[in-house]
Chains A and B, each alone.
Chain A
Amino acid sequence: MKKKILKYGLTAVISIAILFLLQRLLMPKYVDGIVEGAFVAEYYEEEKDHDVIFVGDCEVYETFSPLVLWEEYGINAYIRGSAQQYIFQSYYMVEDTLRYETPDVVVFNIQSLQYDEAQSEAYNRMTLEGMKWSKTKVDAINASMKEGEQFLDYVFPILRYHTRWSELTETDVQYMFDKKKVSHNGYYMRVDVKPAENVPEGRPLGNYDFGENAWKYLDMMRELCAEKGVTLLLVKAPSLYPYWYPEYEAQVEAYAEEHGLRYINLLEDAEAIGLDYTTDTYDAGLHMNLSGAEKCARFLGHVLSVEYGLEDRRGEAALDEAWRGKKEAYEAEIAEQKVKYGIKDE
């Protein structure tokens, strides 16, 4: 009997180990090319002692440089954003963050209000896979799944990526267990420049109203922040495209006013920020490059520091130490990207 138990036990262990290794191998690593899928998971490697947490889609993780916030205002910030992160996912990102820490301010980029439900399975994956397992993640998955998606595919990603064996590269083997960091406190850096020219006007829409689901999650985020004593700040990143309609703006303004929230539309503050769309964007106005992100961080840092009275924490030994390392990585990547994009130092 003992022998039988040992035999079948060993079989189970070997089988599970093989499946585990295969799963690690087949899952996308997001260390080169599309790196956005790695951002969410990187948060868990951090010391959870942030003053400000940013949540939102690409407009947030490419618009604010946390290093500038630290260096110029002593604000310890982290961006919990991912590609096309929908509002319901941002809500769960806040809920998830509050399991670990209670920041003073949550900054939410309202761009995703226009999506009432998930648009793409691939984006769902990039946001949700990196989250640590908890009831919050389960709820986030359930809120996000599109028709045809299966919850079990999130539990056992090998079921989702089972056909990736035909696309495997050396990177998949290299980063099976240990991934290199691709963000800087959630910030996705790009140093290259592509001026914004001929930005298209928005096409008229049939309906400009944000959906019920989007409003529901914004309400939930607001209530959660209020319950935990966290200040919720709404922002709109200064991206020229996708077009931000005046009708959208009016709805957000009305909501902010109704609930006593601060809302900053950085598009309207572009001049005050000092943005130059010929030099501060890397993709013709969609997203900020390093120069734009540093300017936006500087601007928002002032608001956070002066208007919200966030404490300057420079001088705290642990934070100073941590940020020293982060700065080195930040500067190394700037140098690396400059080489990559053929940018010469001025």
Chain B
Amino acid sequence: MLFTSYLFLGFLALVLILYYVLPKKTQWPLLLCASYLFYFAAGAHFLLYLLSTTVTIWGAAVLIDKNHQAQKTYIKEHKEEMDREAQKTYRAAQKKIRFRYFLAALLINLLVLAVVKYANFFIDNFNGVLRAFGNAEGLSFVNIALPMGISFYTFQTIGYLVDVYRGNTAAEKSIFRFALFVSFFPQVVQGPINRFGEMAPSLYAQKRFDGRQVSFGLQRILWGYFKKLVIADRILVAVTAIFGDPANQGAYVFVGMIFYRLQLYADFSGGIDITIGIAEALGITLRENFNRPYFSKSLPEYWRRWHMSMNAWFRDYIFYPLSTSPALVSLTKKVRARFGPGAGKRVPLYISSFAAWAATGIWHGASWNFVVWGLTNWLILMLSEEFTPLYERFRRATHTEQSRAYDVFQIVRTFLLIGCVNLFDCHATLGATFRSFASMFTSANYHVLTDGSLLELGLTGLDYGILAVAWLIVLTVSLVQRKGSVREQIEPLPYAVKYVLFFGLFLIVLLMGAYGVGYDASQFIYNRF
């Protein structure tokens, strides 16, 4: 059930109506039923994966939590009989038990993810090794359909498991309530990756109908559809035309790179707007995932503003634990003693971020392209870190610290840099990616930008016009957002003005949206992750 299908809109309308019409105590059970129905529509057998994650993570978390409580009670009851050492030994023994629960659930879920998402990647590489040793016969590829949103809900639930294991979050006692956290239909497809502690209060609370909140939610949904249907699905035609034909090199790659950046942002942030808008209309608070990322002046800043929930996840559950792990702390000490404090500071940063970025890359897709994409990001981020003092000195020397023009230069530079890195996403192989990248500097075909060749990419002049105006609207909204929520700023305006704005936006989506006959109903890009 695509977010852009009529069926989904009907489903959503029905859920919203029932949610506020039925007794409040049925609100979260209704959402659970709706979420499972939504997931069922994607494929009945996919439910098995969802259920296995729900049951294993919930079970392990409950056992860990129980053990925590039992440990507390035991120590409290036997405080008199146990000296410090005995308590320490007892705690260590209990921690071991909890770790076993944690590890079992973690491995089961990572194994499922590895099999469904990465099995063919492993087989392909294994076969490559066999071929290198002269064995032509390799393993056959497996045919496993990727369950909808598996990367998102697996990581979300692993985050929950870690939180419970660390004692930061109490385990949810009801498997049904937990099942809703895992399967909540707007976010199960492409996130954002939420934290149980943040989401649970509003997810399970009983809500009264709040017209303003529902209206705000619907406005955000509409904005999401605008980005997805008017921009992303329109520009998709040209992106597919450019990267679908290996003959398109040089200027075409440059144009494709820019178009793909615009498409990816409109598609992903549009989908997240729809997700957060639906949740808002239901009175549920989700994490934000974007903070006007294309205004970033550097790559580190960009990654703080793009796909924020995923980056926070990798930071909190891979980067920090790794950089504070006993092994790395010990290594840091040794390096510091031998090479000085500068090197000592860099060791945990380099190693932990390397691991986090390798994981981010492989999370995005089962191919070397994504691994290299992740590591390229890591390399640039580390270089950026190393050169920061130099940049600062340069800006002081050139008096560009307060320069608007330099700010714009930085924004454009960051945009293009990310575009280049994202070429890994546009090609299936590393060879094609590097050829494509190099051709931007070696092909002398930039005349295609002005000779009408761009009109042969499946977009008419009118399409380009619509895209330009639509981007202007997105840009304007982004600029207005600097002063706070756009909807909050629109709210005090006269009713007629608000009507014109939102009904006008609705008409733009209706009349200029790339949907229906003549357009391929396209899945959100991040659904495939």
Contacts and interface: CB of A to CB of B under 8 A. Distances in A.
Contact of B511 (A148, A153, A160, A163): A163
Interface string A11-35: 1000100100010000000000000
Interface string A155-171: 00011101101100000
A116 to B, nearest CB: 22
Contacts of B516: 150, 153, 159-160, 162-163
A203 interface: no
A311 interface: no
A47 interface: no
Interface of B: 6, 462, 495, 499, 503, 507, 510-513, 515-518, 521
Contacts of B507: 18, 22
For the complex of A and B, 4 pairs with smallest distance between CB atoms: A152-B6, A162-B511, A166-B462, A165-B511
A7 B498 CA distance: 13
Contacts of A165: 511
A7 B495 contact: yes
A162 B513 contact: yes
A159 B462 CA distance: 19
Q: Name, among B495, B499, B510, B511, the residue most crowded by chain A CB atoms within 10 Å (CB to CB).
A: B511
Contacts of A166: 462
21 contacts: A11-B499, A15-B503, A18-B507, A22-B507, A22-B511, A121-B517, A148-B517, A148-B521, A150-B516, A153-B517, A158-B510, A159-B510, A159-B516, A162-B512, A162-B515, A162-B516, A163-B511, A163-B512, A163-B516, A163-B518, A166-B462
Nearest to A7: B495
Nearest to A11: B499
Interface of A: 7, 11, 15, 18, 22, 121, 148-150, 152-153, 158-160, 162-163, 165-166
B517 A149 contact: yes
Contacts of A149: 517
A11 B516 CA distance: 27
Contacts of B462: 166
Contacts of B513: 162
Given A18-B507, A22-B511, A163-B518, 12 more contacts: A148-B521, A150-B6, A152-B6, A158-B510, A159-B6, A160-B517, A162-B511, A162-B512, A162-B516, A163-B512, A165-B511, A166-B462
B459 to A, nearest CB: 13
A160 B511 CA distance: 10
A79 B515 CA distance: 35
Is chain A's binding surface mostly helix, strand, loop or mixed? Answer: helix
Contacts of B518: 163
A18 B506 CA distance: 12
A284 B206 CA distance: 73
A11 B503 CA distance: 10
Contacts of A18: 503, 507
A159 B506 CA distance: 13
Contacts of A15: 503
A162 B234 CA distance: 14
Nearest to A149: B517
A308 B409 CA distance: 87
A14 to B, nearest CB: 8
Nearest to A146: B517
Nearest to A148: B517
A162 B510 contact: yes
B7 to A, nearest CB: 9
A165 B508 CA distance: 11
Contacts of A159: 6, 510, 515-516
Q: Output the residue of B499, B516, B517 with the most chain A CB within 10 A.
A: B517
A275 B517 CA distance: 42
Nearest to A164: B511
A55 to B, nearest CB: 26
A7 B503 CA distance: 15
Contacts of A150: 6, 516
A22 B515 CA distance: 17
B358 to A, nearest CB: 40
B461 to A, nearest CB: 10
A8 to B, nearest CB: 10
Contacts of B515: 159, 162
B226 to A, nearest CB: 14
B288 to A, nearest CB: 30
A149 B521 CA distance: 11
Nearest to A166: B462
B320 to A, nearest CB: 48
Contacts of B499: 11
A165 B507 CA distance: 12
Contacts of B521: 148
B137 to A, nearest CB: 38
A166 B515 CA distance: 15
A152 B516 CA distance: 10
Contacts of A160: 516-517
A150 B511 CA distance: 17
A148 B499 CA distance: 33
A162 B518 CA distance: 11
Contacts of A163: 511-512, 516, 518
Contacts of B517: 121, 148-149, 153, 160
A70 B395 CA distance: 93
A159 B4 CA distance: 13
A103 to B, nearest CB: 35
